[in-house]
Amino acid sequence: MIILDSLLIGGIRFVLDKIATAVDAELNDETALRDELLAAQMRLELGELTDGQFRVIEVDVLARLREVRDRRQGAGTASLSGDYRITGVDATVEGDEHS
């Protein structure tokens, strides 16, 4: 219902902006990575992931977390490797939506 309400109120542009913010956050935010790991732990507890599948996700997320931290530490010394910033989204809709 929240999604429905916001769609009614804000329109599609609004949602795309939010997606942009979300992608931005995903690239840069440690919180997003920790959330991803937490979600994987929850799926493991629910039996939706096997131990093996969880390990793969865990290794991947931890590596990305390290990357984010390295980048942040590096940002102080090298100006090129600063945070990414998503400034907008281009969307094109083609073909049958059910295909």
Partner 1 sequence: MGGKGGVGKTTCAAALAIAAARRGRRTLLVTIDPAPSLGDALCIRLGPTPRPVPATDGMLHAMELDARTALEGWLKERAGAIEALALQGTWLDRDDVRMLMGLSLPGLDEIAALLELSRLRQSARWNLIVVDAAPTGHTLRLLDLPRTFEGVARAFGCMQQRHRAVVEALTGGWRTDAGEALVRAMFEDATALRTWLTAGDQLRVTWVTLPEPMATAETLDALSLLRTAGLSVDRLVINRALPAGPRCDWCDTRRALETRTIGRLAAKVRALPGSIVMATVSARDREPLGVPTLAGLARELARGSPTPLARTCPSGVKGRSPALSGRPPAPDEWSELQLLLFGGKGGVGKTTCAAAAALDLAGRNPQRRVLLLSTDPAHSLGDVLGRSLDDDARRLPVRGQLRARELDARLSFERVRERYRQAIDSMFDRLRGRLAVEAAYDRQVMRELLALSPPGLDELAAILEVVEVFERPPGERPFDLLVVDTAPTGHALRLLEMPGVMQDWAKALMRLVLKYEPLAGPGDLGALLLRLSRGLGSMRTLLADPHRAGFVTVTRTGALPAAELRRLHARLQPLGIRESTVILNAVGRGSCSRCRRLSRTEMEDVSQLQQWTGRTGLRLVGAPAELPPPRGIGRLAAWRGSWQKLNAPSRRRRSGS
Sites of contact with partner 1 (CB under 8 A): 1-3, 5-6, 9-10, 14, 18, 21-22, 31-32, 35, 38-39, 41-43, 45-46
CB of 77 to partner 1, least distance (A): 31
CB of 52 to partner 1, least distance (A): 19
Tally Cβ neighbours within 10 Å of residue 25: 14
Interatomic CA distance for residues 56 and 67, integer angstroms: 17
Query: Structure tokens of 89?
Result: 């989204």
Residue closer to partner 1 (CB basis): 1 or 78:
1
Residue closer to partner 1 (CB basis): 41 or 72:
41
The answer for residues whose C-beta is within 8 angstroms of residue 72's C-beta and 6 or more apart is 83
Interatomic CA distance for residues 40 and 32, integer angstroms: 12
Residue closer to partner 1 (CB basis): 10 or 74:
10
CB of 81 to partner 1, least distance (A): 26
Contact 39, 58 (CB under 8 A): no
CB of 79 to partner 1, least distance (A): 30
